[in-house]
Homo-oligomer: A and B are copies of this chain.
Amino acid sequence: MSQTVSDLESRHRPLLDQALEAIRSRAYFSAYPESPSPRVYGETAAADGQAAFESLLGGEFPLQTPGADGVVATEKSPYGLPLDVRYPRLAPAGVDALIEAARVGLPAWRDAGPTARTVACMEILARLHARVFELANAVQHTSGQAFVMAFQAGGAHALDRALEALAYAYAEMTRHPETAVWEKPGRGEPLRMEKTFTAVPRGVALVIGCNTFPTWNSWPGLFASLVTGNPVVVKPHPGAVLPLAITVQVAQEVLGELGFDPHLVTLAAEDPADGLAKVLASRPEVKLVDYTGSSAFGDWLEQNATQAQVYTEKSGINTVVIDSTDSFKGMCFNLAFSLALYSGQMCTAPQNVFVPADGIDTDDGHRSFDDVGAGIAAGLGKLLGDDAKAVELLGGVVNAGVLERLGSLPESAEVVIASRDVPHPAYDDATVRTPTVLAIDVKDTDIYETECFGPVSYLIRTSGTDESIETFRRTVLEHGAMTAAVHSTSDEVVARMRSAALDAGVALSENLTGQVFVNQSAAFSDFHGTGANPAANASYTDGAYVAGRFRIVQSRRHI
């Protein structure tokens, strides 16, 4: 039986209100349970989700893309599982037809208004949540994330981030009344007018997905653009199509049931040789672009897709300044976890760790530079000593580029911790690596001033915390960063780091020695990226992330 918008409004309004309150308070909130436990999701959910995922393998994904011709199968599981899912191939020659089809449904979607669009998008999230185990498998076998992380970052947390974006967009679209009465006093009768304010979309939106976080990094932009009335073309990374194919399928299903044009959301899977992202981003009809990936293409988009508002998350050099600590073991363990999680393949994982050459004061007494390296090594040993446990933290290596970088490390650097190949107990052909840590000097700018994406980090000797902070400020201003952290028992040092972080425009985590990690950001509370340094020009989620996705068009008349 088909749903109506009014059904959906009754169903989703309470959660929308909670989300609206959460974006005001930025306190803890989560709408989608992060534990894949049978106690939460039911006894058969995991097996059902896995079966649904497996039923897609080796087949043609049931999705039709206007303008597509033939199929592509471009994914490769980092665990060695054969995927061979075939998707409609959109070649550049088909882009005209795709854009045309995307625009057909725009007027009706616009005219439905902010509330209808918001609850329709919330229904899409609810249906995606119902398929969260299937999605987790899809994320695991495209990104290489271990299952629990894929379930959380690729499922529950991604849903939270999407809902957060919906809440900001709804708040922005409804901050003004739909109709206002304007009455200007005068000498005689007042002048009276009625004014109508309508949120109108910008045009076609393009979402360009990444390989490592196909849902978490795509859903905020996708839903922010869709809910503000824009048709969305989803161009997945060729290595991570399935999670977004499922997303598009669910979106089309809900839109169709509600009587909207399903092609308001479309999948543009490509043969990588086609360079489809550039073709799509250059179209005059495309007015919004959301992108996660390399700085090179992100910078290209910012400089060339000038007909569009472009939101980018690129790369940077995430930095840790170690000055002192009241929990040496906690600090080292926390840092080790951050380096090990998904083998450092997170845009938020630390890379540059500045440590004074003459060591640091700790609760275990003064510790030398080498002791810090040894402490991190001990933490990694504890986390990764057992192969079966290690693979659940490390996940798989997402692609060949990461392996190549790991195989061509600077020879001048001292290897403090070497990377090792970890056999996977369940997947013989999995590619799993532990992180390596290299010791270098603050003079080795050629090494640490570029991002080495993957399980590689640097312990960098400085003359002291002053130099650490100044180098942090300068390098992040120049090269960007998604995260920064400081360890210090001195309020004055922490204050100086905060000030430097404001200058550099990067989020700062202070003295994390427990179960919160610098590379994690919690939806509704932590802003992800700032838009204030070269690593990203936008943030999940603030007003700036949503306000430019629609315009207000008014009409007025005397009453």
* A558 to B23 Cα, complex, angstroms: 21
- In the complex, A372 has a CB within 8 A of chain B: no
Q: Are A525 and B302 in contact (CB under 8 A)?
A: no
Segment of A135-143, A181-189, A352-360, A390-398 engaged in the interface with chain B: A181-189
A198–B198 Cα distance when bound, in Å, is 32
Classify chain A's interface size.
35 or more
Q: Which residue of B lies closest to A304 (CB)?
A: B306
Residue among A23, A303, A508, A553 with most chain B CB within 10 A: A553
Closest-CB distance, A297 to chain B (whole angstroms): 14
CB–CB B548/A548 < 8 A: yes
Within 8 Å of chain B (Cβ to Cβ): is A25?
A: yes
Q: Mark A249-268, 1 if CB is under 8 A from B, else 0.
A: 00000000000000000000
List the one stretch of A3-11, A405-413, A511-519 in contact with chain B. A511-519
Instruction: Give the residues in chain B near A508, CB-CB below 8 Å.
Output: 553-556
Looking at the assembled complex, report how far the CB atom of A142 sits from the nearest CB atom of chain B, in whole angstroms: 28
The answer to whether B197 and A527 have CB atoms under 8 Å apart is yes
Cβ-defined partner of A180 (8 Å) among B27, B200, B202, B503:
B27
**Which residues of chain B come closer than 8 Å to A503, judged between CB atoms?**
107
Complex Cα spacing A443 to B530, Å: 51
Contacts A498-B555, A507-B553 given; does A28 touch B182 at CB 8 Å: yes
| A516-559 contacts to B (CB < 8 Å) | 516, 522, 525-527, 530-532, 539, 542-544, 547-548, 551-558
Across-interface contacts of A555 in B (CB, < 8 A): 498, 501, 507-510
**Which chain B residues border A195 with CB–CB below 8 Å?**
26, 525-526
Q: For the complex, what is the distance from the CA of A118 to the CA of B175, rounded to whole Å?
A: 21
Q: How far is the CA of A110 from the CA of B552 in the complex (A)?
A: 30
A24-B510 in contact (CB<8A): no
Report B-chain residues with C-beta under 8 Å of the C-beta of A516.
191, 193, 556, 558
In the complex, what distance in Å separates the CA atom of A531 from the CA atom of B288? Answer: 13
* B542 x A547 contact (CB < 8 A): yes
Contact assessment for B191 and A525 in the assembled complex, using a CB-CB cutoff below 8 Å: no
Give the chain B neighbours of A531 by CB distance below 8 A.
551
Measured CB to CB, the closest approach of chain B to A19, in angstroms, equals 14
From residue A291, how far is it (CB to closest CB) to chain B in Å? 14
Chain B residues, Cβ within 8 Å of A172: 543
Report the nearest B residue to A494, measured CB to CB: B557
CB <8 Å contact, A522 and B182 = yes
The smallest C-beta distance from A246 to any residue of chain B, in angstroms, reads 28
Nearest-CB residue, chain B, relative to A25: B180
A388 in the interface, Cβ–Cβ < 8 Å?
no
A/B interface sample: 8 pairs, CB < 8 A: A24-B176, A107-B503, A176-B542, A508-B554, A509-B556, A516-B558, A530-B553, A539-B552
Contacts from A to B (Cβ < 8 Å): 23-28, 107, 110, 172, 175-177, 180-186, 191, 193, 195-198, 200, 202, 302-303, 306, 498-499, 501-503, 505-516, 522, 525-527, 530-532, 539, 542-544, 547-548, 551-558
The 6 closest A-B pairs by CB, nearest first: A532-B551, A543-B547, A544-B547, A510-B557, A508-B555, A26-B180
**17 extra interchain contacts, Cβ-Cβ under 8 A, other than A195-B525, A200-B530?**
A23-B176, A24-B175, A26-B195, A27-B182, A27-B183, A28-B182, A191-B516, A193-B516, A197-B527, A509-B557, A511-B557, A511-B558, A526-B556, A527-B552, A530-B553, A544-B551, A547-B548
